[in-house]
Amino acid sequence: MAPKVLISDELSDAAVQIFRDRGIDVDFMPELGKDKEKLAEIIGNYDGLAIRSATKVTPTILEKATNLKVIGRAGIGTDNIDKDAASKKGVIVMNTPFGNMITTAEHAIAMMFAVARQIPEASASTHAGKWEKSKFMGVELTGKTLGVIGAGNIGGIVCDRARGLHMKVLAFDPFLSEEKAAKMQVQKVEDLDDLLKRADFITLHVPLTDSTRNILSKENLLKTKPGVRIINCARGGLVDEEALAELLKSGHVAGAAFDVFAEEPAKSNPLFGLPNVVCTPHLGAATTEAQENVALQVAEQMADYLLTGAVQNALNMPSVTAEEAKVMGPWIKLADHLGSFIGQMTDEPIKAINILYDGEAATMNLEALNCALIAGIMKSVNPEVNMVSAPLVAKERGIKLSTTNQEQSGAFEGYIKVTVVTPKRERSIAGTVFSDGKPRFIQIKGINIDAEVGAHMLYTTNKDEPGIIGALGNTMGSMGVNIANFTLGRSARGGEAIALLYVDEPVPAEARAKLAETGLFTQIKPLVFDVV
């Protein structure tokens, strides 16, 4: 029987035809995504679900999706899909991360022009029959300094277009190497403050994460150059909109152009109604070409998976065959954990990633393990990176990858060790999978340990001396944080020591501050892992 796909949002006729040409039975019901009850009623009949942003794939929908194997999102964002629930149901979630890069970058450039020349206000004034030529004095882009926060796929295109406009380009991106920056012909800045004080225009091209939320806070906005203009076509929540409104009113910020907002749909916003503020309703990907590209891409990806088992741009599954997945599942999870540890610990540009596979691990699909490990590193700053896109992202950022495999050389039947090289240091961690199928950390910074991986962990470093266990235990206890597992290790008596705590809930900032006050610790770092 042919696979059956439901398209519950608007998708191009060409995309629908791809399914049919590949022999897949497809129902095109573009209004269904707005009717969650009807969707829940019929979703059990389908092997695949192709959507845009209108359809909300909730746990309730997934519970009814008894035959569903794959969800394809025509676009990048998958906030409308409960990925944890999908993973638990064994449903693959795919997106199309590269289909609208040019369109979004072009929109940012268009918004920069619009705010530089006050085009929307001038247009409205002229339509009203006024001729206020002297009122709308603009500025040239030529010779101005553009600060780009996030120089990945979209940000990189913006950098290229800005250089074509003869702008001086500064790029702030922890994963941008000096070599890649030189190839892009942009100046990499190590410190965000340096970009803030030098840029005439600032444009954001980063995802919304804990580390990027309000990256342009009131404090940072006050560090900007007087007369700066801010463009945000990335994600709402990257800029403190209230603070920006105040600085626009005071004149410190000369203008702003926003396509995205902290709350959407944005019916009201502190920026609305202010002079020289250009606003559009999340149009970054809204071009005919981009919508067609992502529609065709998602149709091809879903058809490939349903007919051949090939997996592309999956957010919750490695690119491995069904047979490999049975054996490699725990090792894929271990690779992800090792990468995630490194990623959360590293805030410097990565020059190289060196991976050693020993024993049993060396006999597996190393490409898939590499992808999982690199994705684990990258997703700490970009949650949209997946196992398929991660190697490309690393390559584009000039990160060199090397792998070594060897026969069993120690007490473990197999292990994986990853070493990351930055301009300042090398950082390494190793892990294995025990017979119970659970990943373990077995070495950090060359210090042997045996640590179970938990959703919430706390990593500390210190000089080996009395009082460490008491400080950690007492502090966690006083803050109501329960310790599920406590692992210690040291290089030598009186030498460098580490502790890794697996706790039942996130360690509050107050607890970390209290530990810092003891003066015992050289590093205190909370960690989060996806252990689903």
* Nearest Cα residue to 270 out of 298, 243, 234, 232: 243
Q: How far apart are CA 360 and CA 414, in angstroms?
A: 5
Residue 276 pLDDT greater than 90, yes or no:
yes
Count each helix (H run) and each strand (E run) in the chain, helices first.
17, 22
pLDDT over 90, % of the chain:
77
Q: How far apart are CA 52 and CA 74, in angstroms?
A: 5
- Tens digit of pLDDT for each residue in 24-33? 999 999 999 9
Find the mean pLDDT for residues 242-262. 97
- The two tokens of residue 24 are 């897949």
pTM for this structure? 0.70
- Tens digit of pLDDT for each residue in 415-434? 999 999 999 899 999 999 99
- The two tokens of residue 180 are 């890649």
Find the mean pLDDT for residues 347-367. 92
H-type alpha helices, 136-286: 153-164, 178-184, 192-198, 218-221, 241-250
The single residue of 52, 161, 235, 397 carrying the catalytic annotation is 235
- The two tokens of residue 150 are 């996030």
- Tens digit of pLDDT for each residue in 387-412? 756 777 788 888 999 999 999 888 89
Answer yes or no: 242 catalytic.
no
Answer yes or no: 179 catalytic.
no
Half-sphere exposure of 224 (CA within 13 A, CB side): 30
Residue 312 pLDDT greater than 90, yes or no:
no
Measured over the CA atoms of residue 229, residue 234, residue 238 and residue 243, the dihedral's sign is: positive
Residue 436 pLDDT greater than 80, yes or no:
yes
Q: How far apart are CA 78 and CA 52, in angstroms?
A: 9
Burial 149-160 (b: 16+ CB within 10 A, else e): bbbbbbbbbbbe
Averaged pLDDT of the chain? 92
Whose tokens are 């329960």? That residue is: 482
Cβ count within 10 A of residue 250 = 9
- The two tokens of residue 499 are 């502790």
What integer pLDDT is reported at residue 311 of this predicted model? 81
Banded pLDDT at 323 (limits 50, 70, 90) = low
Residue 318 pLDDT greater than 80, yes or no:
no
Three-state SS at 312? coil
Banded pLDDT at 175 (limits 50, 70, 90) = confident
What integer pLDDT is reported at residue 464 of this predicted model? 93
Answer yes or no: 282 catalytic.
yes
Half-sphere exposure of 146 (CA within 13 A, CB side): 32
Q: Which domains does the chain have, with CATH numbers?
A: 4-99+289-308 (3.40.50.720), 119-275 (3.40.50.720), 321-453 (3.30.1330.90), 455-531 (3.30.70.260)
Cβ count within 10 A of residue 407 = 9
Three-state SS at 208? coil
What integer pLDDT is reported at residue 326 of this predicted model? 67
Q: How far apart are CA 12 and CA 288, in angstroms?
A: 10
Based on the number of CB atoms within 10 Å of its own CB, is 424 exposed (0-12), middle (13-18) or buried (19 or more)? exposed
The single residue of 161, 282, 440, 456 carrying the catalytic annotation is 282
Find the mean pLDDT for residues 62-82. 91
The single residue of 264, 426, 465, 510 carrying the catalytic annotation is 264
> Do β-strands 426-433 and 414-421 pair in parallel, antiparallel, or remain unpaired?
antiparallel
Residue 309 pLDDT greater than 80, yes or no:
no
